[in-house]
Amino acid sequence: MDIKLINITSDDIELIRSWRNQPEVSKYMYTDAAITVEQQEAWYSRIKDDPSCQYWIIEYNEQKIGLASLTGISTALSSCYWAFYLGDVSNQGAGIGSKIEFNVIDYVFNTLKLNKLRCEVITFNEKVITMHEKFGFRREAYYRQHVKKEGRWQDVVGLAMLRDEWKVYREGMMAKIYRH
């Protein structure tokens, strides 16, 4: 597979900050204010040893291109949230998002052995909502005026997938994504 998820280190935090501060990335985030060096360092200090989250650099053909994360990892609820973004926007549209999604879903259900994987997407990000639904995610929530972007309230859709559902979708998605 040409996608690798590599645990982040302190050496990655400035690259991550530069990606996250790009307007092409921040417009899809809950917050879009520029992140300072100090804020980035404080974020890394909070998450680096936190067992309820995992952050990875996405590597594609040996190039660092983005970030993927799991947050809210709960063994009691057997669930977590996930998200990703491409910091190198030149790779968008190349099927990379689907490969990332496949790898993260597989990790959550087959390595962590959780029962439920969740995500939240601002409704104007229709491409990502559609991609999640192709993988078998179902809409479970609709949060009205959940986040303010550029002075306007935006709605957010909550999606989720269960481990049993992934068992049904996995082989078909692998065949579509990794056909040679």
Provide the residue ranges of all domains of the chain, joining segments of one domain with +.
3-177
Task: Please name the fold of domain 3-177.
Answer: Aminopeptidase (3.40.630)
At residue 161, the pLDDT reads: 98
Verdict on whether the full-model pTM lies above 0.95: no
Strands (E), the chain: 3-7, 54-60, 63-74, 79-86, 116-122, 138-149, 152-162
Quote the pLDDT of residue 94.
67
Query: How does pLDDT run along the chain (180 residues), one tens digit per residue?
Result: 588 999 999 999 999 999 999 999 999 999 889 999 999 999 999 999 999 999 999 999 889 999 999 999 999 999 999 999 999 766 666 689 999 999 999 999 999 999 999 999 999 999 999 999 999 999 999 999 999 998 999 999 999 999 999 999 999 999 888 774
Q: Give whole-number Cα distances, 5 to 18, 23, 38, 70, in Å.
A: 19, 24, 25, 12
